[in-house]
Amino acid sequence: MNERAPGERDDAALVAAALDGDNAAFSALMTRHKGGLYRFVRRYVGDADEALDIVQEAFVACWGKLDAFDRVRPFAVWLRRIALNKCRDWSRRRRVRRFFFGATSIEPFAGKLGAVASTAETSLEARLAALDSAIAALPAALKEPLLLILFEQMTHEDAAHSLNISTKAVETRVYRAKQRLRASLLTGEEA
C-alpha cells in the first residue's frame, strides 16, 4: 500500500519509536500514510474539506490508541479502520443535523448537474466527479468494502478484518456496489 525507501524504518518500528517518545517517528508515519488516507476518506464522504477534518481526527485517534496497535498486522489496515470509524461518526452526525435542522445536502444534485452538460462537453473531470458522487451516495455497507478493495488495494482478508465481516461478505458487497454504481452512472441517478 505504502512504499518506503531503502533504509527507512517500517511502520512497526516507527510505532515502537513513537511509543518511546520519538515524535519524529509519528510524524514519519503521518507523512507516509496521509495521502492514501485522505484519498480513502475523500471517496467515502465526497467532500474535500470534510475529508481533511476527518483525516485529522483519525490521526489524533491513532496517536491516542497507538499502544493498542498490533504490530503483527499492517499499520495501514489499522489506520484505515480508525478512519472508517471516523467516517461513520461523520455520517451519523450528518444525519442528525439533517433531522434537526431540515438541511438538505447538495450531493444529490451534483451528479445531475453533470448530466445537463452535452455529451460532447463532458470532460474526464466531470465523469470522475459523477463517479465520486455515486460512490459517496452508496450505502455504507457497500461503499466501505468497495473503497478498501478497489481504491486502497487491500486484500479481501484485510478488508474483512477491518470491517469485522467475512471474506465472502466482502466479495458479495463489492460485487453489489459495482452493480449499483454501474446502474447509477448509466441512468444518472444516485446509487
Query: Is residue 2 in a domain?
Result: no
Structure confidence at residue 17 (pLDDT): 94
CA distance 155 to 47: 26
Structure confidence at residue 47 (pLDDT): 86
Helices (H), 46-166: 48-64, 75-101, 107-116, 124-137, 140-146, 156-163
Closest to 57 in 3D by CA, of 89, 86, 17: 86
Which pLDDT tens digits describe the chain residue by residue (191 residues)?
A: 455 555 578 899 999 999 999 999 999 999 999 999 999 999 888 888 999 999 999 999 999 999 999 888 899 999 999 999 999 888 888 776 666 555 445 445 444 544 444 443 446 667 777 788 888 889 989 999 998 888 788 889 988 988 999 999 999 999 999 899 888 888 866 55
pTM of structure: 0.61
Structure confidence at residue 106 (pLDDT): 46
- Which CA distances in Å does 80 have to 25, 38, 122, 162? 19, 10, 33, 8
CA angle 145, 3, 151 (to 5 degrees): 20
Structure confidence at residue 131 (pLDDT): 81
Query: Is residue 143 in a domain?
Result: yes
Q: Which of 105, 125, 148 is the last residue of a domain?
A: 105
Structure confidence at residue 55 (pLDDT): 95
CA distance 66 to 58: 12
Structure confidence at residue 99 (pLDDT): 60
The CATH number given to whatever domain includes residue 79 is: 1.10.1740.10
Q: Which residues form the domain of 75?
A: 8-105
Query: Is residue 118 in a domain?
Result: no
Structure confidence at residue 118 (pLDDT): 42
Q: 24 with 73, same domain? A: yes
